[in-house]
Structure 1
Amino acid sequence: MPEPGLSPLQSSLPAAAARFGAHVLADVLAKATDVAAATGSGPTLPSPPAVPAPSAGAVSVPAPADAAVDAAVPVPVHEGAAVAERRSPALDRILRGPSGLGTASLYPLRRVEPAAPQAPVPAAPEVPGPAPQGRPVPGLYHHPVPEPDAARVEEVSRRIKAWALDEVELYPEDWEDQFDGFSVGRYMVACHPDAPTVDHLMIATRLMVAENAVDDCYCEDHGGSPIGLGGRLLLAHTALDPLHTTGEYQPQWVESLGADAPRRAYRSAMEYFVQQSTASQADRFRHDMARLHMGYLAEAAWAQTDHVPEVWEYLAMRQFNNFRPCPTITDTVGGYELPADLHAQPAMQRVIALAGNATTIVNDLYSYTKELATPGKHLNLPVVIAEREGVSDREGYLKAVEVHNDLMRDFEAEAAALAAACPVPSVQRFLRGVAVWVDGNHYWHQTNTYRYSLPDFW
């Protein structure tokens, strides 16, 4: 079928930032070019009450509605003293770039790369999309998103099923309804509307399916168990982070990569990922997957000892056992790169962590009734709050909604502050991409009535 065109970018940051007094990443920044052209100077942005903001300084980063942002193209930068004070010495060093003989060509903010010629994208056929289903958790702070591009959803769904069945033999025939009910195509298209092509969307889709196969088959629904989980996860992780061993033992390791469905899925998904990513992006993803696996192990240890953690301990576990590997690859899926030094900045790490934490509590809330229906005690935030704080199930659930809302507001305030303090095109686009992923993740949970239903607490 013809390659569907770009879907419009959307972000939770503009509306939310305005509501909470933070810098508006779309409306205000998109007007910066016009202001600068009319006055010859940069615009002054409003200051948020909760986060110290620069009294002057902005960056013009228009967010086009129908095209991807070229992260290599510089934009006018107008910095005030307050912006300079906000930056750490490490960030200043990164923005200055290298110095010395032979380094003139290494300044990313002073160089315009010629745009690669692109073939015209044929118009996507008109395919009616399904009407949104389900209802949001009452009182949950979230942002609605447009219905995902139906042509892309159809094509991603077709390709991922072919990959799962034919390439990695991921599941037996009697699991087909569960695979279809997961609606992973709709999920990934909603989370990555700026992906240049369906091939880029498939990078995220394969990894999402592979991660869920590991969770289901090693940890939960389909034969999972906390007993021996560490050994299984370690061997599966070598499909992402290759084993470097002697010639005598290398063939045995290679053979082991096809030993079960999760390892086959990990290996194949990672092979596709490294073809599209840089070495830095691949290493970042491996690191985040190690974090995820450590979170799996903590939850498994509590299950083996029948331990209900304190609320803060549970939230610590959920910072690792969470969705972080998904939004952190938003630049790879978008066809650009957030440089490693900028990704590693503490402020960026805090934004990514808050996004991962908030989206994971969304999962706790929407999967609450599903998990209660499974045998044994399944830890989620409402359950932990109810038990540890001595409140009813309903009060525990409503308190978990408040925790999510606090995390979301912190995420948006921190992202807006970072966007104002670090006027680099790739940073601006990455922050928008993470915000869109957060919104798309909520959309999928809300509308996936095959998997989720809400408790009767209202």
Structure 2
Amino acid sequence: MPDPGLSSLPSGPAAAPARPPLPGPPSAPFGSAGSAPVEAPPAPAVPAAPVTDADLAPVPPESALERVLRGPSGLGTATLSLARRAEPPVPPAPLPAPPVPAAAPAGEAPAAPGTPIPGLYHHPVAEPDPARVAEVSRRIKEWAVDEVQAVPAEWEDQFDGFSVGRYMVACHPDAPTVDHLMAATRLMVAENAVDDVYCEDHGGSPVGLGSRLLLAHTALDHLHTTDEYAPAWRESLESDAPRRAYRSAMDYFCRLATPSQADRFRHDMARLHMGYLAEAAWAETDHVPEVWEYLAMRQFNNFRPCPTITDTVGGYELPADLHAQPAMQRVIALAGNATTIVNDLYSYTKELDSPGKHLNLPVVLAEREGLSAKEGYLKAVEVHNDLMHAFEAEAAALAATCPAPVVLRFLRGVAVWVDGNHYWHQTNTYRYSLPDFW
């Protein structure tokens, strides 16, 4: 595990007040916190339940604001769940103070408190349910290694260090079953396989990337062609690890998602692939974009596909007309942008230590605005904080103008995903360490 080397950092970095955690995910049938997981038969697929008039009925605006920004009991729980839960909910666990790392599931890097970036605006979260983390970690490695052969033996230590089980459980505490969590986890692993193998760490290259992404995208958005050529396309879906992972993850996701939710995800993945192509074009020409151009690229090459499926993973559906509202689209975009800058900041030293020139917001700020490396990094923290404040303000405004319970639950789900994403970056000291700027 890399040594973060953070002994000189302040002991009390600035953070936003904690949002009270949502009720924790049910522990049965995977054991109580701290106990060994117990094998359970796979739960049947539970499609998102239809939205009723009651779900769309308004609630008082003041209550809406509180629910989105402070998360009172009820939001994101069984009382608003639009799908039948497989297990009864349990009361929320209090936030540990100081945080105590959860026991590491077998094969996964141990959780560590990590050090938040000083001055970074964020909300602490409760430790994810260790029983669920263990079960998701076991299932996802089985899928990645054996079912789709996306992780060869020489990459297994990196896969374990990614701690994707802890990541997804932290981001989706209201998932009604482990099957729902697995839908998000497979997609996360598949997206990283495409990024690593096609774009970056494991043989990726900007040369020819458009063709590879287009063909991989047909695993998500199927080719409709003639009987003569369809077999060759189907065979191509098994031709490399990224396509196998995309095909399988999307098949599992569609068992839980409505057609509208599945199409929404495909759209967001097309956005992601367009962002990959912009970054690749700059790499081919050795171009450092203007700051605003970089932020435009990062609005597409970002985490948006992950929080946008929060309703599918939660077992309900935000109707398409509500999801498509410009105000909702702005909230989702701001959440994706803020969480992606978190990645730029926590992965900064990792990228500097890797071969080649990696564009991230601190690097672009330093080069385009004539700043030192430290000044560029600290300004990137300010940009992140501005995006976070805008996200929370826009979410609160939308909750006040459209206070339907299903809208409030979705907004809360996105906010929880934002918090869980920061938690994972902060605690993943296997992958990340902070620069010595403080």
Identify whether the pair has TM-score above 0.5, normalized to the shorter chain. yes
Shift in CA distance, 128/410, structure 1 to aligned 2, threshold 3 Å: closer
The answer on whether the counterparts of 2:187 and 2:246 sit within 8 Å (CA) in structure 1 is: yes
Instruction: Return the match for 1:366 from 338, 346, 349.
Output: 346
Aligned to 1:377: 357
How far apart are the structure 1 equivalents of 2:213 and 2:85?
A: 43
The answer on whether the counterparts of 1:4 and 1:197 sit within 8 Å (CA) in structure 2 is: no
How far apart are the structure 2 equivalents of 1:419 and 1:326?
A: 21
Tell me which amino acid in the other structure corresponds to 2:80.
D
Matched, 1:237 2:238: no
Aligned to 1:215: 195
How far apart are the structure 2 equivalents of 1:121 and 1:350?
A: 32
The answer on whether the counterparts of 1:6 and 1:194 sit within 8 Å (CA) in structure 2 is: no
Q: Secondary structure at the match of 1:247?
A: coil
Aligned to 2:62: 45
**Aligned runs of 1:89-104 on 2, under 5 Å?**
none
How far apart are the structure 1 equivalents of 2:28 and 2:72?
A: 29
The answer on whether the counterparts of 2:265 and 2:308 sit within 8 Å (CA) in structure 1 is: yes
| Alpha-carbon displacement from aligned partner over 1:99-122 (angstroms, at most 9, x marks no partner) | xxxxxxxxxxxxxxxx85866589
How far apart are the structure 2 equivalents of 1:198 and 1:386?
A: 43
Of all paired residues, the percent bearing the same amino acid is 79
How far apart are the structure 2 equivalents of 1:47 and 1:215?
A: 38
Shift in CA distance, 44/263, structure 1 to aligned 2, threshold 3 Å: closer
Normalization by structure 2: what TM-score? 0.80
**Aligned runs of 1:384-423 on 2, under 5 Å?**
384-423=364-403
| Alpha-carbon displacement from aligned partner over 1:138-179 (angstroms, at most 9, x marks no partner) | 000000000000000000000000001111011210111000
Where does the alignment leave 5 or more consecutive residues of structure 2 unmatched? 1-26, 34-58, 92-100, 105-110
Shift in CA distance, 259/209, structure 1 to aligned 2, threshold 3 Å: same
Aligned to 2:74: 64
Where does the alignment leave 5 or more consecutive residues of structure 1 unmatched? 8-41, 49-57, 73-114
The answer on whether the counterparts of 2:80 and 2:409 sit within 8 Å (CA) in structure 1 is: no
The answer on whether the counterparts of 1:63 and 1:69 sit within 8 Å (CA) in structure 2 is: no
| Alpha-carbon displacement from aligned partner over 1:268-289 (angstroms, at most 9, x marks no partner) | 0000000000000000000000
Aligned to 1:101: none
The answer on whether the counterparts of 1:218 and 1:229 sit within 8 Å (CA) in structure 2 is: yes
How far apart are the structure 1 equivalents of 2:87 and 2:129?
A: 21
Shift in CA distance, 6/414, structure 1 to aligned 2, threshold 3 Å: farther
| Alpha-carbon displacement from aligned partner over 1:269-319 (angstroms, at most 9, x marks no partner) | 000000000000000000000000000000000000000000000000000
The answer on whether the counterparts of 2:334 and 2:387 sit within 8 Å (CA) in structure 1 is: yes
Aligned to 1:166: 146
| Alpha-carbon displacement from aligned partner over 1:195-214 (angstroms, at most 9, x marks no partner) | 00100000000000000000
How far apart are the structure 1 equivalents of 2:305 and 2:382?
A: 24
The answer on whether the counterparts of 1:3 and 1:121 sit within 8 Å (CA) in structure 2 is: no
**Aligned runs of 1:2-21 on 2, under 5 Å?**
2-4=28-30
Matched, 1:147 2:157: no
Shift in CA distance, 46/330, structure 1 to aligned 2, threshold 3 Å: closer
Q: CA deviation at 1:414?
A: 0.3
CA RMSD of aligned residues (A): 2.5
| Alpha-carbon displacement from aligned partner over 1:215-258 (angstroms, at most 9, x marks no partner) | 00000000000000000000000000000000000000000000
| Larger CA deviation: 145-154 vs 127-136 | 127-136
The answer on whether the counterparts of 2:74 and 2:80 sit within 8 Å (CA) in structure 1 is: no
The answer on whether the counterparts of 2:76 and 2:413 sit within 8 Å (CA) in structure 1 is: no
Shift in CA distance, 62/6, structure 1 to aligned 2, threshold 3 Å: farther
The answer on whether the counterparts of 2:64 and 2:403 sit within 8 Å (CA) in structure 1 is: no
Q: Secondary structure at the match of 1:45?
A: helix
The answer on whether the counterparts of 2:102 and 2:127 sit within 8 Å (CA) in structure 1 is: no
Tell me which amino acid in the other structure corresponds to 1:205.
T
Number of paired residues? 368
Aligned to 1:312: 292
The answer on whether the counterparts of 1:2 and 1:122 sit within 8 Å (CA) in structure 2 is: no
Shift in CA distance, 426/71, structure 1 to aligned 2, threshold 3 Å: farther
Normalization by structure 1: what TM-score? 0.76
**Which has more radius of gyration?**
1
The answer on whether the counterparts of 2:199 and 2:206 sit within 8 Å (CA) in structure 1 is: yes
Shift in CA distance, 343/121, structure 1 to aligned 2, threshold 3 Å: closer
How far apart are the structure 1 equivalents of 2:376 and 2:114?
A: 22
**Aligned runs of 1:109-128 on 2, under 5 Å?**
none
Q: Secondary structure at the match of 1:442?
A: helix
Taking CA–CA contacts closer than 8 Å with sequence separation of 6 or more, which of the two structures ends up with the larger relative contact order? Answer: 2
How far apart are the structure 2 equivalents of 1:219 and 1:180?
A: 21
Instruction: Return the match for 2:262 from 265, 275, 282.
Output: 282
The answer on whether the counterparts of 1:5 and 1:121 sit within 8 Å (CA) in structure 2 is: no
Q: CA deviation at 1:376?
A: 1.4
